Structure 1
């Protein structure tokens, strides 16, 4: 009877430990799961940054002058133009 109690406590401890280890993983903060479908005026954009490599989709996050973040597809020509404009204006 004692052996069964010890085994039960070990199984309970292993279950609690595994749930703690799974929830403490550090992952990316900003990922794009859906892209903004329309064009954005480049004069409204203050900066941009790319999503983390661990995100399911590669995306660019445009930061507006009002502080809003917009997820866009970085492969679109108008997005490349905005990123180039921001890069050139920062020098």
Structure 2
């Protein structure tokens, strides 16, 4: 049985396309952000909370992020969790001051 150059070329390209398709589909998946798997049962001090994120998959949860950046997942149906969410929603958004470059003074026109 003889393989012609065209047959070898077709087999090569089919193999190449199969490998690149598999690599592309795996590499193109978006890496999930932090997600809750375990839920804490401890009530948190809402004064230490900076923000929250709602999550529905893999479990329904609220992820609280503390001022130090610690992420804690809790059950969303707890009364204190709902109060903490309302507290955070009412909190005014603080913006960091931006430093604007100082404008240079306009040059004075030379007298005639």
Determine the C-alpha separation between the residues in 1 that align with 2:37 and 2:90: 28
| Higher RCO (CA < 8 A, seq sep 6+) | 1
Greater percentage in helix: 1
Structure 1 runs (4+) greater than 4 angstroms displaced: none
Q: Residue 46 of structure 1: CA displacement?
A: 1.9
Report the number of matched residues: 89
> Could you say what the CA RMSD is over the residues aligned between the two structures, in angstroms?
2.3
Distance 1:89 1:9 in 2: 59
Larger radius of gyration: 2
Unaligned stretches of 5+ residues in structure 1: none
TM-score, normalised via structure 1 length: 0.73
Q: CA deviation at 1:77?
A: 1.7
Q: TM-score, normalised by structure 2?
A: 0.62
